[in-house]
Amino acid sequence: MTPQERFAHNLRRRRVAVGISQEELGERTELHRTEISLLERAGREPRFATLLKLAGALGATPNELCAGTGWDHEQRRFTVEDPTGD
Amino acid sequence: MTPQERFAHNLRRRRVAVGISQEELGERTELHRTEISLLERAGREPRFATLLKLAGALGATPNELCAGTGWDHEQRRFTVEDPTGD
DNA sequence: ATGGGATGCGGCCTTTTGTCTGTGGAACGG
DNA sequence: CCGTTCCACAGACAAAAGGCCGCATCCCAT
């Protein structure tokens, strides 16, 4: 599991919890609907502004979408936990 | 003040507080020294993995580096506060 | 004065994000 | 059966991130 995949899961779960479609999220974030799709399938990594938009549109904080991801600068590698069980 | 500038300030303040050089941060994050410089001058926007690396290398959370930035999906614009006064 | 650490900044190059268009498929209700 | 909604996915494109090199500058210690 990569941080990107962890993020993708967090994003989809959050969107479904809020109860909106990918297209609706696309409108709220001013991102294209195919971009939302890619992000949720871990086919793409968001940049800073994209992360802010997603968090804002879903009523979440960046941390919530980043949940379970981290960087160990001593080991020089990403760390990925599974905080919610999927 | 753009979210990117807000982020740049947060990043620099945090790095200085930790007491390391841009070059040291570059090594910890496996980013090029000039990239750190650009980020701190708001000349560039980090992507997801970059944000994670920076937060991890500085012993911070993504939220701390994002502090003061947000997205208002109703107004369709970014919001920038000044949580610490600079 | 001189040398070194730290940073700003230019330019060039590759990789990736994000936009847009279109197609197809699954699920659902009338 | 047919229309609608939602989503996966492909291809082509413009824009931006990130890597790397080199040079100039500033500050500080000796």
Q: Which residues contact B20 (CB under 8 A, 6 or more apart)?
A: B28
Q: How far is A80 from chain B (nearest CA, A)?
A: 11
* pLDDT for res B80: 94
Q: CB within 7 A of strand D: which residues qualify?
A: A 21-23, 34, 37, 40-41, 47; B 30-32, 34-35, 39, 44-47, 49-50
DSSP annotation string for B18-79? HT--HHHHHHHHT--HHHHHHHHTTSS--BHHHHHHHHHHTT--HHHHHTTEEEETTTTEEE
Report pLDDT digits (tens) over A11-55.
Answer: 999 999 999 999 999 999 999 999 999 999 999 999 999 999 999
Tell whether A62 lies on the interface with B, counting CB pairs under 8 A: yes
Instruction: Name the CA radius of gyration of chain B, rounded.
Output: 13
Report pLDDT digits (tens) over B8-19.
Answer: 999 999 999 999
Residue B41 has a CB neighbour count (10 Å cut-off) of 11
* pLDDT for res B84: 59
